[in-house]
Amino acid sequence: MTKPEEPAPQVVPPRPGLGHLIDATGYSLSGMGRLWRETAARQELILGAVALGLLALFGASAAHFLGFGVLFALLLAVEALNTAIEVLTDRISPEWSRAAKDAKDLGSLAVGLMVLCNVGFVAAVGLGLV
Protein backbone atom coordinates (compact mmCIF):
# COMPACT_ATOMS: atom_id res chain seq x y z
CA MET A 1 0.00 0.00 0.00
CA THR A 2 1.46 3.35 -0.97
CA LYS A 3 1.23 6.42 1.17
CA PRO A 4 -0.62 9.39 -0.23
CA GLU A 5 1.82 12.03 -1.37
CA GLU A 6 2.15 15.10 0.77
CA PRO A 7 1.35 18.30 -1.05
CA ALA A 8 4.38 20.31 -2.08
CA PRO A 9 5.01 23.35 0.08
CA GLN A 10 3.68 26.49 -1.53
CA VAL A 11 5.66 29.69 -1.87
CA VAL A 12 3.91 32.33 0.16
CA PRO A 13 4.17 35.85 -1.27
CA PRO A 14 5.79 38.36 1.08
CA ARG A 15 3.53 40.43 3.27
CA PRO A 16 3.71 44.21 2.92
CA GLY A 17 4.76 46.72 5.55
CA LEU A 18 5.35 45.71 9.15
CA GLY A 19 4.37 42.11 8.41
CA HIS A 20 7.32 41.85 6.03
CA LEU A 21 9.69 43.18 8.71
CA ILE A 22 8.36 40.68 11.23
CA ASP A 23 8.71 37.81 8.74
CA ALA A 24 12.24 38.89 7.75
CA THR A 25 13.26 39.00 11.42
CA GLY A 26 11.99 35.45 11.85
CA TYR A 27 13.93 34.29 8.78
CA SER A 28 17.08 35.93 10.13
CA LEU A 29 16.68 34.27 13.52
CA SER A 30 16.12 30.94 11.77
CA GLY A 31 19.30 31.55 9.77
CA MET A 32 21.23 32.26 12.97
CA GLY A 33 19.93 28.99 14.39
CA ARG A 34 21.16 27.18 11.28
CA LEU A 35 24.53 28.95 11.44
CA TRP A 36 24.86 27.93 15.11
CA ARG A 37 24.90 24.28 13.96
CA GLU A 38 28.14 24.98 12.08
CA THR A 39 31.27 24.13 14.08
CA ALA A 40 33.21 26.94 12.40
CA ALA A 41 30.63 29.55 13.43
CA ARG A 42 30.69 28.38 17.05
CA GLN A 43 34.51 28.56 17.02
CA GLU A 44 34.36 32.05 15.53
CA LEU A 45 31.96 33.17 18.27
CA ILE A 46 34.36 31.84 20.93
CA LEU A 47 37.30 33.60 19.27
CA GLY A 48 35.19 36.76 19.04
CA ALA A 49 34.67 36.65 22.80
CA VAL A 50 38.43 36.16 23.29
CA ALA A 51 39.07 39.11 20.97
CA LEU A 52 36.71 41.29 23.02
CA GLY A 53 38.65 40.32 26.14
CA LEU A 54 41.92 41.22 24.45
CA LEU A 55 40.54 44.57 23.33
CA ALA A 56 39.50 45.29 26.93
CA LEU A 57 42.96 44.23 28.13
CA PHE A 58 44.56 46.56 25.56
CA GLY A 59 42.43 49.45 26.80
CA ALA A 60 40.70 49.80 23.44
CA SER A 61 38.52 52.85 22.83
CA ALA A 62 34.81 52.76 22.08
CA ALA A 63 35.70 53.33 18.41
CA HIS A 64 37.92 50.24 18.47
CA PHE A 65 35.10 48.14 19.93
CA LEU A 66 32.72 49.52 17.33
CA GLY A 67 35.19 48.76 14.53
CA PHE A 68 35.67 45.23 15.80
CA GLY A 69 31.91 44.78 16.09
CA VAL A 70 31.48 45.71 12.44
CA LEU A 71 34.33 43.42 11.32
CA PHE A 72 32.99 40.56 13.42
CA ALA A 73 29.46 41.00 12.06
CA LEU A 74 30.94 40.87 8.54
CA LEU A 75 32.79 37.66 9.47
CA LEU A 76 29.55 36.03 10.60
CA ALA A 77 27.78 37.28 7.46
CA VAL A 78 30.47 35.76 5.24
CA GLU A 79 30.31 32.52 7.27
CA ALA A 80 26.54 32.45 6.73
CA LEU A 81 26.99 32.95 2.97
CA ASN A 82 29.67 30.25 2.91
CA THR A 83 27.30 27.87 4.70
CA ALA A 84 24.55 28.71 2.19
CA ILE A 85 26.95 27.97 -0.68
CA GLU A 86 27.85 24.63 0.89
CA VAL A 87 24.22 23.67 1.47
CA LEU A 88 23.22 24.54 -2.09
CA THR A 89 26.31 22.89 -3.57
CA ASP A 90 25.62 19.66 -1.68
CA ARG A 91 22.02 19.75 -2.94
CA ILE A 92 22.89 20.48 -6.57
CA SER A 93 26.01 18.32 -6.78
CA PRO A 94 25.90 15.53 -4.16
CA GLU A 95 28.66 13.69 -6.00
CA TRP A 96 32.20 15.06 -6.17
CA SER A 97 32.76 17.63 -8.89
CA ARG A 98 35.41 20.23 -9.64
CA ALA A 99 32.78 23.00 -9.73
CA ALA A 100 31.45 22.01 -6.28
CA LYS A 101 34.98 21.88 -4.87
CA ASP A 102 35.81 25.28 -6.34
CA ALA A 103 32.61 26.82 -4.92
CA LYS A 104 33.33 25.47 -1.45
CA ASP A 105 37.01 26.45 -1.58
CA LEU A 106 36.14 30.01 -2.63
CA GLY A 107 33.63 30.30 0.20
CA SER A 108 36.27 29.05 2.61
CA LEU A 109 38.75 31.60 1.27
CA ALA A 110 36.26 34.40 1.89
CA VAL A 111 35.82 33.29 5.51
CA GLY A 112 39.57 32.92 5.97
CA LEU A 113 40.20 36.44 4.70
CA MET A 114 37.62 37.83 7.12
CA VAL A 115 39.24 35.93 9.99
CA LEU A 116 42.57 37.52 9.03
CA CYS A 117 40.95 40.97 8.98
CA ASN A 118 39.55 40.42 12.47
CA VAL A 119 42.83 39.08 13.87
CA GLY A 120 44.78 41.85 12.16
CA PHE A 121 42.53 44.53 13.62
CA VAL A 122 42.86 43.18 17.17
CA ALA A 123 46.63 42.88 16.73
CA ALA A 124 46.84 46.44 15.38
CA VAL A 125 44.92 47.74 18.40
CA GLY A 126 47.19 45.76 20.73
CA LEU A 127 50.30 47.17 19.06
CA GLY A 128 48.91 50.70 19.16
CA LEU A 129 48.84 51.01 15.38
CA VAL A 130 45.21 52.18 15.23
pTM of this prediction exceeds 0.75: yes
What pLDDT sits at residue 10?
A: 86
pLDDT for position 49: 98
Q: Which of 5, 6, 79, 95 is catalytic?
A: 79
Specify whether 79 is catalytic.
Answer: yes
Per-residue pLDDT for 1 more than 70?
no
Q: Kindly tell me if the per-residue pLDDT of 83 is higher than 70.
A: yes
Binding site annotation covers 28?
A: no
Give per-residue pLDDT as tens, 19-60: 999 999 999 999 999 999 999 999 999 999 999 999 999 999
**In the predicted model, is pLDDT for residue 2 greater than 90?**
no
10 is in an annotated binding site: no
Asked whether residue 24 is marked as a ligand-binding residue, the answer is no
Mean pLDDT of the chain: 95
Which domains does the chain show, CATH number per domain?
39-126 (1.10.287.3610)
Mean pLDDT of 63-85: 98
Instruction: Determine whether the annotation assigns residue 38 to a binding site.
Output: yes
Q: Choose among 115, 114, 91: nearest CA to 103.
A: 91
Task: Reduce the secondary structure of the chain to three states and give it as a string.
Answer: CCCCCCCCCCCCCCCCHHHHHHHHHHHHHHHHHHHHCCHHHHHHHHHHHHHHHHHHHCCCCHHHHHHHHHHHHHHHHHHHHHHHHHHHHHHHCCCCCHHHHHHHHHHHHHHHHHHHHHHHHHHHHHCCCC
